[in-house]
Amino acid sequence: MTVVHVEGSRPGDRLSQLGLSTEEIETALRRAEAERNFCTPFDPVSLPGNIFWGRTIRFLREIYVPKGWGSTSPSNVSLLVAPGDDFALTASSGSRETGFAALTPSTRYTKGSAVIRRVETNRQLMLPGYEAESEPQETGNGIPTWFLLYQHVNTDTGTRLYSELSLPNNHGNRGKITSWQERIILPRLDFEGYAPFPNDDDGEDGIDIPIERLG
C-alpha cells in the first residue's frame, strides 16, 4: 500500500527527515520555471521541457551540494545523492495525476533501461532480508532513488505546476514508472503571466539508443 503525505498531514516533516524542505524545492522549481519562460513559440517544442528538467536538477544541486550532498550521473541518470549515500533523487515529468493525493501518477514518458534498473533496485531493497551488494559501486548506485515528479497545467492566466516527491517500488510493463511506495505531495505553484507551452517535452533519459560497430 502506498503511503501518501499531503499538506494536511504536514509533508514538511517527512521532507525534513530526508534532509529536504518544501521551501528549497519550491525555490528550485520556481527558478527552473523562470528559465523555461524565456522560450518562445519559435523554439523547438521540446526545448521548454528540456530546460525545465535540466534546470530543476541543476538548481537542486546548487542548493544541496554545499550542504554535503553529492552530484553524480551514473549511466547518464542525473542524481542528487544524500549525505552518507542514504538515497538518491532525480527529476521527471509526470502524468496528469501528478500532485493529486487521491490519484496514482506515472512518469509522463517511458524510461530507459538505466532508470528502470534503479526502480528495480528500489523494489529489491524493500524485500525482507534483502541485502545490497557489499562490493564497491559507483556513487549513487545500489541505494533507493526518489523521483521529483511534476506536471504543468495551462490556466487562463498562465501556468500551474503540480509536483510530488515519490519513491517508486515497481515499474510498468511499457517503460513508464507506475507504482509507488511513498508519495509526498508538494504545494502547487501558480505562475501568472507565464507563457504556456502545450507541447512540452522533457529531456530526461527515456530512450536507450544502441550503438553498433559496423564492418
Q: Report pLDDT digits (tens) over 105-130.
A: 999 998 888 898 888 887 887 765 54
Residue type present at position 37: N
Domains in the chain, number? 1
Say if 62 falls within a structural domain. Answer: yes
Amino acid type, 116:
I
The region of weakest confidence among 12-21, 41-50, 105-114, 136-145 is: 136-145
Q: pTM for the whole thing?
A: 0.86
Q: Within a domain: residue 166?
A: yes
pLDDT per residue as tens digits for the range 52-63: 999 999 999 999
Task: Flag whether 197 is in a domain.
Answer: no
Q: Residue 205 domain-assigned?
A: no
pLDDT of residue 121: 86
Please indicate, yes or no, if residue 90 is contained in any of the structural domains: yes
Residue with cell 530512450: 207
Q: What is the pLDDT of residues 74-84, one digit of tens each?
A: 999 999 999 99
Tell whether 47 is covered by a domain: yes
The residue range of the domain holding 53 is 3-192
Residue at 58 is within a domain = yes
Give the max Cα distance, the chain.
62
Lowest mean pLDDT among 54-58, 119-123, 173-177, 205-209: 205-209
The answer to the question of residue 204 being in a domain is no
Pairwise CA distance, residues 91 & 77, whole Å: 10
Angle between helices 47-64 and 22-36 (to 10 degrees): 140
